[in-house]
Chains A and B, each alone.
Chain A
Amino acid sequence: MENAKKKFNWRRLGISAIVLYIVFLIGPIAGLDIPAIVETVKANPIQLVQYLIIGISNGAIIAIIALGYTMVYGIIELINFAHGDVYMIGVFTSLTVLSLTGTLESKDPTKIVLGLVLALIVSIVVCAVLNASIERLAYKRLRNAPRLAPLISAIGMSFIIENIGLIWAAQAWLVPSFGTTGGASQKVFPDMLGILFTSLGWNVNLLATSGLPLRFTIKDLLVIILAVALMVGLYLFVQRTRLGKAMRATAQNRDAAKMLGIDIDWVITATFLIGGGLAGAAGLMAGLYNGTAWWFMGFRAGLQSFTAAVLGGIGNITGAMLGGFLIGLLASFSDGYLNARWTNAWVFATLVLILLFRPSGLLGENTGQKA
């Protein structure tokens, strides 16, 4: 026992040394100049609030995508690498719906609202079906194969979907603003919420009347409201419904759940449907929020969301939300107070630290919530 205690201390020492090294030696290179940051915050405290707003809005989108990762991992212990790309398809689907319904050219508030609602529904349905089809096509047969096989298959699906996005972005007959420059370049996702608000005669910035130099736009508000609503809805679904219960049972022990008469295939399909639907909703939100549709956007979004899921404790729904918001905030503060060049380094360094201290993630112990 004494031996074990000694070993434990060594480990703590090693970890502390790594932390000190990162903070005091690498930190200053990466812009971690604490007195200067304190000065900046003191000089302009309002800006801190602005970074919070940006961080939370970005985090909301990451969190929703992270839910898809974490649910799938919870059920079949597979990292669905194609998930970020399903989200990208969501962006293109909603943009195409907005274009085909004539919403993009419209200035009529009712039409814009109807168009956006339709785009949200279609995007959720398309992404849900796509995600479930990916499972049927690429993962189902590999369910009992070594873990590496479905992972490679997932990466393959990711490339296939990226190429679909590449072809889609070249179809100017669907969306005229795609132009003639081919599918590889970034495309505009028009700011429909801004147009809607202007047509109603309201200010896009909800804090304009407060006189503070802050921007809290309708886009930020909608992204946050939608994200929280989807997360709470999902949480209640998993906790309260029959299917949610079946999902939790499958997550705990697939064979036992099967013996109790749970239709495992349907539960897994349902998980992929829900995860895909969330990615579809995130797609419309991200398109409206950042104004870009790009075949490559799913890759980075997927990486960040995956990190968020791991940070919160993979398989844990609340953890994924927390991880998403934390990463959004961290990136925003790093851009604002440190150096934009090092933002990714800070995000992933934090992940490394969390995993060193709590390998199961922030909320990873609470397996009861695993879905």
Chain B
Amino acid sequence: MNKRLLALLSVLVIASMALAACGTPAATEAPATDATEAPATDATEAPASVESMGVLKIVSSLPMTGSSLTQTQTIVNAMQLRLEQVDYKVCGGSYDIEYEAWDDASAALGQWDPAVETENANKAAADPSIIAYLGTFNSGAAKLSIPILNQAGPLAMISPANTNPGLTKADKDLPGVTDSYYPTGVRSYARVVAADDIQGKVAANFVKSLGATTVYILDDQQLYGKGVADVFEATAAEIGLTVVGHEGIDPKAADYKALMTKISTSNNGAAPDAIYVGMVVDSNAAQLLKDKVAILGDNETVKFVGPDGIQTQAFIDGAGADAAAGAYASVAGVPFAELPATGQQFVADYEAKYGPLTEPYSVYGYETMSVAIRAIEDVCAAGGDPTDRAAINSAVFAIQNFDGALGNWSFDANGDTSLTDMTFYVVKDGAYEAVGTFK
């Protein structure tokens, strides 16, 4: 009997694993590299030419179970595209690059999971062949892995998407917090996207420019969502936009009808002119918009504005083209049509291989991989050892006047980009359309 029980349980476990594998994106299963086993390469290395010196491993850690997959899949595709362009080789062919797309989300949470992200960071720290950690997508996840990777070499961490300002800059309300992320005192985290101290400020000005005088702020209580909402609130006070209320929501609730009913009379018995949401699409943003439209009316009557976390087709699919029509979202950078030549080329290459591209973060994924490759090349060019994590990290921070897909930019000492453009998009006929770029 016990054996049969055991057999049944193992069948179930195997079945659930198999199904889980089906559910996760194809890219995680296909690192798209011939060097599948590092030991094998070591074995063939001895008799081979002096030039072949081994494998450098780059990993990305992004949420690939949950609504954010729509965005993260394009980031992973873009990273692979960048590697294919160099044929997975760097330093004149002396090193092969191996890339793995790790998932930092879990099915149990349906979005990024603190336990999985911490495990990913520890796993990367422990594998000496890994020389760059690309990620994370969510600022809350970055906060956990930065200190771990900082003490592992430091292992350079480059994010395509984290926008919480506190990750790199000292917060005037919480001084010293940023320093605790970097126990070794050396900065090891850089990002190619502009932070929310810019995004929140530009968003408040944008909402005012739409003719709104009162706004209700909602956030998902995460580091990113609450962070951008707080910057929005602070800026609103400065520019004379009345904040009627600021509340955190339960990101897993079945509906928000009661909350929207409260908001409908929050502005002295009337509805506010606009609602600003600081959240990612995983935090039930589509449901929030649906209930907002049902109770408060369409997005013309009460404006609905959000940050880059909801600038994804998944948000429109979830809310429906009718409910989503007229909703605004901002993303750092310029629209695809205004990217420099390298960026245009990337979009063309991407579409040739994977089909139509609308997700703005894809180009940030491409840029992140470009930065990693550039850092490795720089170390090689200076005669250094590209397997030395600290050397790679310094090379990342040394990048100046980088001519990438996003334009010509530099990292500052904090690891922040010099690009500060912010583009607003509006939902029209079931897709996001650029309305203008602001600074």
Contacts and interface: CB of A to CB of B under 8 A. Distances in A.
Interface of A: 44, 47, 50-51, 54-55, 58, 61, 138, 141-142, 145, 149, 152-153, 156-157, 159-160, 162-164, 166-167, 177-188, 190, 215, 286, 289-292, 294-297, 299-301, 304, 331-333, 335-337, 339-341, 343-344
Interface string B95-115: 000000000000110100000
Nearest to A347: B250
Contacts, number: 163
A155 to B, nearest CB: 10
Nearest to A182: B69
Given A181-B313, A186-B317, A291-B290, A335 B258 contact: yes
Q: Which 6 A-B pairs have the closest CB atoms?
A: A186-B318, A185-B314, A341-B248, A335-B258, A188-B320, A163-B19
Contacts of B68: 184
A191 to B, nearest CB: 9
A137 B402 CA distance: 59
Interface string B241-263: 00000011110111111110110
A323 B351 CA distance: 52
A47 B65 contact: no
Interface of B: 4-5, 8-9, 12-13, 15-16, 19-20, 22-23, 25, 65-70, 73, 107-108, 110, 221, 247-250, 252-259, 261-262, 265, 269, 281, 284, 286-287, 290-291, 295, 312-315, 317-320, 323
Interface of B is mostly: helix
B254 A340 contact: no
A301 B253 CA distance: 9
A212 to B, nearest CB: 13
B5 A141 contact: yes
B252 A44 contact: no
30 contacts: A141-B4, A141-B8, A152-B9, A156-B9, A156-B13, A163-B16, A163-B23, A164-B19, A166-B23, A166-B107, A167-B19, A177-B320, A178-B317, A179-B313, A180-B313, A181-B70, A181-B312, A182-B25, A185-B70, A186-B318, A290-B254, A294-B318, A296-B252, A301-B254, A331-B258, A332-B257, A335-B262, A336-B259, A340-B248, A341-B247
B70 A58 contact: no
Nearest to B430: A179
Nearest to B320: A188
A163 B314 contact: no
Given A149-B5, A339-B247, A341-B248, A47 B313 contact: no
A50 B260 CA distance: 11
Contacts of B295: 215
Given A343-B250, A344-B250, A54 B313 contact: no
Contacts of A344: 250
A291 B317 CA distance: 12
Contacts of A180: 313
A292 B287 contact: yes
A340 B247 contact: yes
Contacts of A55: 258
Nearest to B295: A215
B73 A182 contact: yes
B247 A51 contact: no
A187 B316 CA distance: 9
Contacts of A138: 8, 12
B26 to A, nearest CB: 10
A163 B22 contact: yes
A54 B66 CA distance: 28
Contacts of A297: 254
A156 B16 CA distance: 7
B219 to A, nearest CB: 9
Contacts of B16: 156, 159-160, 163
Contacts of B265: 44, 47
Contact of A185 (B13, B253, B317): B317
Contacts of A152: 9
A294 B379 CA distance: 47
Which of B4, B15, B107, B255 has the largest number of chain A CB atoms within 10 A?
Answer: B255
Contacts of A337: 262
Contact of A335 (B23, B67, B259): B259
A195 to B, nearest CB: 11
Nearest to A214: B261
Contact of B318 (A50, A286, A292, A332): A292
A300 B291 CA distance: 18
A286 to B, nearest CB: 7
Contact of A163 (B107, B249, B257, B290): B107
B9 A300 contact: no
A336 B258 contact: yes
